[in-house]
Amino acid sequence: MSELDILLKEIRVCTICKGLIPEPIRPFLQASSQAKILIAGQAPGKKVHKTGIIFNDPSGDRLRQWMGISKEIFYDKTKIAILPMGFCYPGSSDHGDLAPRPECAPAYREQLLRFLPNIELTLVIGKYAQAYHLKQSHTSLTALVQNWQDYLPLVMPLPHPSPRNNIWLKKNPWFSKEVLPALRQRVSELIPDTTKE
């Protein structure tokens, strides 16, 4: 068993957030030292929590469409690592899902990233991931995404693919026209023969 496998096993039985999130605690992530793309997201949603499959919701459908890849490729851990800022569903409020629990990243993130030496593109999705990975907690999401070319070829900041962001997507048509073609191109360079379902 590799050091990464040992760490993943430890995370899957983690109880750091016991009593702070809905029961049962269910950490969601996928990783392999062979992965070339890292999806750095927020935290799993309610549907993911219930089904046990990360990004198994409308956000995941949209993200796969943005990337131009099939579910088969998306869930191939040797191609794509998925590390949310919080591994467990944090619960919800009247305004949607709560923020990722702050305990996860300090406990595990740097350790996990050390075991992903082949990552050539990190998709930094949403403000919590962007604050961590880009050290940009005071820059607006729109400004970060508008300046996507500054971060390539290693990083691409993206809005969250949630249907809750439909208004943002309508207000910012440049995202679909400029950013998504560049994203698909970069993904296809790293994972040749990508095919959409």
Q: Residue 47: what pLDDT?
A: 84
Structurally, how many domains does the chain consist of? 1
What's at 129, amino acid-wise? Answer: A
pLDDT tens sequence across 1-42: 899 999 999 999 999 999 998 878 899 999 999 999 999 999
What's at 53, amino acid-wise? Answer: I
Is position 147 within any domain? Answer: yes
CATH number for the domain harbouring residue 160: 3.40.470.10
Per the structure block, which two tokens stand in for 54?
């990360």
Alpha carbon separation from 1 to 7, 17, 31, 112, 115 (Å, rounded) = 10, 26, 14, 15, 13
Q: Residue 110: what pLDDT?
A: 96
Q: Residue 46: what pLDDT?
A: 86
Q: Which residue range(s) make up the domain with 133?
A: 3-190
Is position 197 within any domain? Answer: no
Q: What is the mean pLDDT of the chain?
A: 93
Is position 196 within any domain? Answer: no
pLDDT tens sequence across 68-103: 999 999 999 999 999 999 999 999 888 778 999 999
Is position 149 within any domain? Answer: yes
**pLDDT at residue 197 is higher than 60:** no
Is position 56 within any domain? Answer: yes
Is position 177 within any domain? Answer: yes
Burial pattern 129-167, b for ≥16 Cβ within 10 A else e, equals bbbbbbebeeeebeebbbebeebeeebbbbbbbbeebee
Is position 124 within any domain? Answer: yes
Q: What is the pTM of this model?
A: 0.94
Q: Could you tell me which residues are beta bridge partners of residue 124? A: 40, 157
